[in-house]
A and B are shown apart, each in its own frame.
Chain A
Amino acid sequence: MTSDATNSRTANKIPADKQMFLAVIDDLKPADELDKCATPRLSTSGKQVQEDPIYFKSGANIVASLKIDTARITDRQLEIWGWCAGEIQLQLLCNGQPLKQIITHNLRPDVAETLKWAEPEKGFGFTLKAMALRTRRNQYTLQIQYKDGQKIRSFQHPLDLEKVVSLGEISSGVVHAIGHLEVAAASHLIQETIVVGWVINEAYVTVWLESENGDKHLFNNALRIFRQDVFDAYAHSFGHDAREGGFMLLIHGILPGEKIRLMAMSGDESIVLGIIECARLEATSIACARWLLGIATPLSQMQKRMPLIDGPIIDAFLRYEQQGWTELSLQIRQFGKPAVNPYVSVIVPLYGRIDFVEHQLIEFCHDAWFIENAELIYILDDPKLTDIFPALAEQLYRLYRLSFKWVWGGVNRGFSGANNLGASQATGKHLLFLNSDAFPQQPGWLQQLLSVLDDHPEIGAVGPRLVFADGSIQHASMEFMRREELGIWINHHPCMGLDPTLDPAHHLTLVPAITGACLAIRRSDFDRIGGWDTGYLIGDFEDSDLCLKLHAEGLKIAYLPTVQLTHLERQSFKLLGQDDFRTRVTIYNAVRHQNRWQHLIEGLADNHG
């Protein structure tokens, strides 16, 4: 246990980036000396405690810390929100005289996490309120006292107050509307702007967002979210109206740098509740998604939020990026003779690892049918590979003498985009989409798969059994499974991890969907359904989406267990439901997927379930 004690001491040591603020504190004189000063101040700017946390130390240890998140004054009331840890006494002063104040506390797990301190039951968060004096030129300060050993140190922080206007009379205990804008972000590349904050208003008060040019945006399309912090601070004033205080809203036509106002109107009087300058959104779909999906919302509400908020922004970025693809020139290297009217084009996107390619060539090059009938296309989909892959490809061609070509599309396009690029370069009657980490076990595998398409005009796509390195099933078709706690349908891999002898399918079987890791489709059908959908994030759900498009055309999906490939797909041990970025992406994709195919998914789940 000594190590724990050491750790906690270490945690209390002052982080290097905080030394600056401590230096300011160290310069302060003890409380008794401070009393002699006319206006003892924490700092001349008054910024530190309101922009960054301030740390108080006793000896070498941090004993207390304080941060003011918001300090504002309405025409009636002084309001301070923030957090404090350790033994700190706060007192609002006006012109040096203590004000009658109310302090309430709330939990701030984010603070506990950052400080690595155990949060007390009442919480680190606080809300401090006092009546504002009606006289002009009042000077408001916050008196802060903390214990340094046996001594009480005391000093005053002149408050940098945001002036806002509130409605109603605080003296009567009734406030009609209050709110705050926390985040606003826009991009010159897309139309959508996201605004996040909270607002509480009584039913007869109208609230809206207003842009600089006077455009008004009501909250009808906003996502409303329960916010514990807002509820704790205002439930006593607003009652039930404080419940869904949080909001996220998309508005249009605002550029970074413009100001957005949170407005309220009661009777004839319109008042500004809050104001924020619009920040710039991350400029790529993935960076933007990372930021957007990082905005906390309980996981169970994600499926409600994503179509309203995240979807339109991410879609807009994807559209913007994909428009750019058409302008890029392709780099193509053909080894051996180009195929003439091949029976099938085998399309393999490459991202990250390229050592798999040799293992595929090992299998392809002793398959007479493959050599005779297949056109092999590798799609480089990773800018990091453009140096090393061309050299490797030359070496591999010298060793394996199998005709193939590689294509570099100038930019990472993702699984769907790379596959679509491959299809655009393919001349086969059929298309076989194959992951680079999938390896045939027997010559003739491709012929067997494609004969399904030739013999069964009703079948639109067919896939084989895939097994892990250990020989157990990785893929034996996919089915749709409801995850009610997240409100989504996910793609389930039945029989995964079982001995293949336990696979209930022994011959060609109709199934809801198959994996895109190895999928055969007619060229004509592929073109008719418009190829792979490029609206999903980071490779997920594209394959079932393709299968659902075929279902929508009246075609069936088949699984052929008599053909088996080894697929080195890494089993993910992260469970869906952990609140991480990956889970949020899965939910995002799943929501998009089910909003496109709700009825088909439910129908297929019923039929096959």
Chain B
Amino acid sequence: MAKNISLKTLPQKKHRILVMAHAHPDFSLGGGEIAAYNLFKAYRENTKVEDAWFLARADRRRGLTGAISLRRPNEYLWEQGVLDWHMMKAAHQESLTTWFADLIRALKPTVVHTHHYVHLGLEYLRVIKQVDPSIKIVMTLHEYMAICRNNGQMIKTGSFKLCSRESYDECHQCFPDKTAEDFWLRKHYFLSHFALVDQFVSPSEFLRQRYIAWGLKPEKVVVIENGQADEPILPPRPLAEGDTRNRFGFFGQINPYKGLDVALEALAQLPKKERKKITLEVHGANLEQQQPEYQEKIERLREPLIKQGVVQWLGPYQPHELRQRMAGIDWVVIPSIWWENSPMVIQEAFVCGRPLIVSDIGGMREKVNNNVDGLHVAAGNIRAWQQTLHATASVVDTWIQIVAGIKRPLTYDDCAKAHLTLLQCGVLGLKG
């Protein structure tokens, strides 16, 4: 699906790349900041790159000071924030044209590869070009924040209905306190700042198409998947005589969009005899930060299942613990009821040699091939999840067949190389 990038080698001067992200993995473990940080490290190690830096917005618990500080060599933190989420405006305006501009002047990057605007605001794009219009800006898009005011989820507020496109009137219906004209202003603001970006990168074709439908020019958006650690696949979970591939794992955030309740409900509705043949391990985080109603819903569903040994609640994990946790399961499930972009756990599962069962929408549908390296299930459909979990848990053959279809994902190095090729040959045309 990724656009073909020709690998013509051209004489060139080496790039100086500043990678920017909305958070630093030292403090926050979202997929976007981890991808950005790994790419920064891969750039640094690449011989075609003269130097690379990382600038991440951080909350140092002393307010939005606007200050930029050194975290470690080549890594900076910026105490910036966003208070106006409608317009995504930086809270500390003065630091844009002072400290941030000074940093750009001092680092003299040829490329700023930014991974987000959330928490940063959009103005920094303008300031980069103001300091030096020859600096190329590459932006990797991680969700639909520009398109959708509802945390970039493209789901209707309240109803959790999937939404396919922005429109001023429909957005106003989701946010009655904002008028259709307010949404025009929002889009005008986003598009005018996106016009300063020379190249967009999308980890999925699905997200790319959403942004094209919204207003980005197709030639300005290419697909490059996020890179992964270059590690070997894990051996299959050892089975005792007569065992089946019946251990499923849920990984990541627990919130209403992630659909854990759909999987739990599916298990709860199975006949007890069948249910007891299945184990779902929940390696989930941040349930305690959700609305009380959602916490209660999960609690009500999980309690009898945990008692019966059907659900094992294992809690959150650090990145380095992931492989060990995946070693004990057969399938990774992603029952999300929102579109997703390119969930990191899909690539991580493939690195570990674990097939996936995913909702059949958006980035999940794209990244997991049905009956090739995983299975699709109708999103949010409890009965369909019930059938699929039951069917796959009953046998071994399906698993063997699907595992064989898994391909090695892009490594960090592959990902950096793809970006460097893009810098040479894409619309950027940085021929040196």
A interface, CB within 8 angstroms of B: 355-356, 358-359, 362-363, 395, 398-401, 439, 469-470, 566, 568, 570
Residues of A contacting B420 in the complex (Cβ-Cβ under 8 angstroms): none
Contacts A/B (CB < 8 Å), 8 sampled: A363-B192, A395-B93, A398-B93, A469-B168, A469-B185, A470-B168, A470-B169, A470-B180
Residues of B contacting A355 in the complex (Cβ-Cβ under 8 angstroms): 87, 185
- Any chain A CB within 8 A of the CB of B243? no
Contact A439–B188 (Cβ < 8 Å):
yes
- Any chain A CB within 8 A of the CB of B268? no
Most B CB contacts (10 A, CB to CB) among A400, A469, A568 go to: A469
Contact B183–A398 (Cβ < 8 Å):
no
Contact A568–B181 (Cβ < 8 Å):
yes
Residues of B contacting A568 in the complex (Cβ-Cβ under 8 angstroms): 181, 184-185
Contact of B97 among A399, A469, A566 (CB under 8 A): A399
Name A363's closest neighbour in chain B (CB-CB).
B192
Contact A469–B181 (Cβ < 8 Å):
yes
User: A363–B185 Cα gap in the complex (Å)?
Assistant: 13
B356 smallest CB distance to A (angstroms): 41
Residues of A contacting B257 in the complex (Cβ-Cβ under 8 angstroms): none
A360 smallest CB distance to B (angstroms): 11
Contact of B180 among A363, A395, A401, A469 (CB under 8 A): A469
Name A362's closest neighbour in chain B (CB-CB).
B192
B193 smallest CB distance to A (angstroms): 8
**Contact size range, B:** 20 to 34
- Any chain A CB within 8 A of the CB of B96? yes
- Any chain A CB within 8 A of the CB of B401? no
Which candidate, B33-41, B123-131, B199-207, B403-411, is the interface stretch facing chain A? B123-131
User: A363–B192 Cα gap in the complex (Å)?
Assistant: 8
Residues of B contacting A359 in the complex (Cβ-Cβ under 8 angstroms): 185, 188-189, 192
Contact A570–B192 (Cβ < 8 Å):
no
Contact B192–A469 (Cβ < 8 Å):
no
Contact A399–B130 (Cβ < 8 Å):
yes
Q: Provided the pairs A399-B123, A399-B130, A401-B130 are in contact, do residues A469 and B183 lie with their beta carbons within 8 angstroms? A: yes
User: A362–B87 Cα gap in the complex (Å)?
Assistant: 14
Residues of B contacting A363 in the complex (Cβ-Cβ under 8 angstroms): 192
User: A358–B185 Cα gap in the complex (Å)?
Assistant: 10
User: A399–B90 Cα gap in the complex (Å)?
Assistant: 12
Q: Provided the pairs A362-B192, A470-B180 are in contact, do residues A398 and B185 lie with their beta carbons within 8 angstroms? A: no
Contact A469–B184 (Cβ < 8 Å):
yes
- Any chain A CB within 8 A of the CB of B94? yes
Residues of A contacting B183 in the complex (Cβ-Cβ under 8 angstroms): 469
Residues of B contacting A439 in the complex (Cβ-Cβ under 8 angstroms): 188
Name B97's closest neighbour in chain A (CB-CB).
A398
Name A392's closest neighbour in chain B (CB-CB).
B93
Question: How many pairs of residues, A versus B, come closer than 8 Å at their CB atoms?
Answer: 45
Residues of A contacting B192 in the complex (Cβ-Cβ under 8 angstroms): 359, 362-363
B interface, CB within 8 angstroms of A: 87, 93-94, 96-97, 123, 126-127, 130, 168-169, 179-181, 183-185, 188-189, 192
B236 smallest CB distance to A (angstroms): 56
User: A399–B189 Cα gap in the complex (Å)?
Assistant: 14
Q: Provided the pairs A359-B185, A359-B189, A362-B192 are in contact, do residues A399 and B180 lie with their beta carbons within 8 angstroms? A: no
B336 smallest CB distance to A (angstroms): 32
User: A470–B189 Cα gap in the complex (Å)?
Assistant: 15
Task: Identify 12 new A-B residue pairs, CB closer than 8 A, beyond the known A356-B185, A469-B168, A469-B183.
Answer: A355-B185, A362-B192, A363-B192, A398-B97, A399-B93, A399-B97, A399-B123, A399-B126, A400-B126, A439-B188, A469-B180, A469-B185
Residues of B contacting A470 in the complex (Cβ-Cβ under 8 angstroms): 168-169, 180, 184
Q: Which 4 A-B pairs have the closest CB atoms?
A: A469-B184, A398-B97, A568-B181, A362-B192
Residues of A contacting B87 in the complex (Cβ-Cβ under 8 angstroms): 355
B264 smallest CB distance to A (angstroms): 41
Residues of B contacting A401 in the complex (Cβ-Cβ under 8 angstroms): 130
A438 smallest CB distance to B (angstroms): 12
A357 smallest CB distance to B (angstroms): 12
Residues of A contacting B184 in the complex (Cβ-Cβ under 8 angstroms): 469-470, 566, 568
User: A470–B183 Cα gap in the complex (Å)?
Assistant: 10
Name B195's closest neighbour in chain A (CB-CB).
A366
Contact B94–A395 (Cβ < 8 Å):
yes
Residues of A contacting B189 in the complex (Cβ-Cβ under 8 angstroms): 358-359, 362
B198 smallest CB distance to A (angstroms): 15
Contact of A570 among B93, B94, B179 (CB under 8 A): B179
User: A355–B183 Cα gap in the complex (Å)?
Assistant: 13
User: A566–B169 Cα gap in the complex (Å)?
Assistant: 17
B183 smallest CB distance to A (angstroms): 7
Name B180's closest neighbour in chain A (CB-CB).
A469
Contact A399–B127 (Cβ < 8 Å):
yes
Contact of B96 among A356, A362, A399, A469 (CB under 8 A): A399
User: A400–B123 Cα gap in the complex (Å)?
Assistant: 10
Residues of A contacting B185 in the complex (Cβ-Cβ under 8 angstroms): 355-356, 359, 469, 568
User: A117–B127 Cα gap in the complex (Å)?
Assistant: 65
User: A359–B192 Cα gap in the complex (Å)?
Assistant: 9
B93 smallest CB distance to A (angstroms): 5
User: A359–B89 Cα gap in the complex (Å)?
Assistant: 13
B149 smallest CB distance to A (angstroms): 15
Residues of A contacting B97 in the complex (Cβ-Cβ under 8 angstroms): 398-399
Residues of A contacting B188 in the complex (Cβ-Cβ under 8 angstroms): 359, 362, 439, 566
User: A395–B126 Cα gap in the complex (Å)?
Assistant: 13
User: A82–B282 Cα gap in the complex (Å)?
Assistant: 78
A157 smallest CB distance to B (angstroms): 53
User: A358–B168 Cα gap in the complex (Å)?
Assistant: 20
Name A439's closest neighbour in chain B (CB-CB).
B188
User: A159–B192 Cα gap in the complex (Å)?
Assistant: 75
User: A570–B180 Cα gap in the complex (Å)?
Assistant: 9
Residues of B contacting A399 in the complex (Cβ-Cβ under 8 angstroms): 93, 96-97, 123, 126-127, 130
Residues of B contacting A566 in the complex (Cβ-Cβ under 8 angstroms): 184, 188
Residues of B contacting A362 in the complex (Cβ-Cβ under 8 angstroms): 188-189, 192
Most A CB contacts (10 A, CB to CB) among B93, B179, B185 go to: B185
Name A396's closest neighbour in chain B (CB-CB).
B93
Contact A570–B181 (Cβ < 8 Å):
yes
Residues of B contacting A356 in the complex (Cβ-Cβ under 8 angstroms): 185
A55 smallest CB distance to B (angstroms): 40
Most B CB contacts (10 A, CB to CB) among A398, A400, A401 go to: A398
User: A398–B126 Cα gap in the complex (Å)?
Assistant: 11
User: A372–B189 Cα gap in the complex (Å)?
Assistant: 24
User: A398–B127 Cα gap in the complex (Å)?
Assistant: 9
A47 smallest CB distance to B (angstroms): 48
A177 smallest CB distance to B (angstroms): 58
A122 smallest CB distance to B (angstroms): 46
User: A355–B181 Cα gap in the complex (Å)?
Assistant: 13
Residues of A contacting B169 in the complex (Cβ-Cβ under 8 angstroms): 470
B306 smallest CB distance to A (angstroms): 46
Residues of A contacting B123 in the complex (Cβ-Cβ under 8 angstroms): 399
Residues of B contacting A400 in the complex (Cβ-Cβ under 8 angstroms): 126
A262 smallest CB distance to B (angstroms): 52
B89 smallest CB distance to A (angstroms): 9
Residues of A contacting B93 in the complex (Cβ-Cβ under 8 angstroms): 395, 398-399
Name B123's closest neighbour in chain A (CB-CB).
A399
A14 smallest CB distance to B (angstroms): 37
Residues of A contacting B130 in the complex (Cβ-Cβ under 8 angstroms): 399, 401
B398 smallest CB distance to A (angstroms): 50
B83 smallest CB distance to A (angstroms): 14
Name A401's closest neighbour in chain B (CB-CB).
B130
Residues of A contacting B96 in the complex (Cβ-Cβ under 8 angstroms): 398-399
Residues of B contacting A395 in the complex (Cβ-Cβ under 8 angstroms): 93-94
B376 smallest CB distance to A (angstroms): 37
Name B193's closest neighbour in chain A (CB-CB).
A362
User: A305–B277 Cα gap in the complex (Å)?
Assistant: 88
User: A355–B96 Cα gap in the complex (Å)?
Assistant: 18
User: A469–B178 Cα gap in the complex (Å)?
Assistant: 14
Name A397's closest neighbour in chain B (CB-CB).
B97
A568 smallest CB distance to B (angstroms): 5
Name B130's closest neighbour in chain A (CB-CB).
A401
User: A568–B184 Cα gap in the complex (Å)?
Assistant: 8
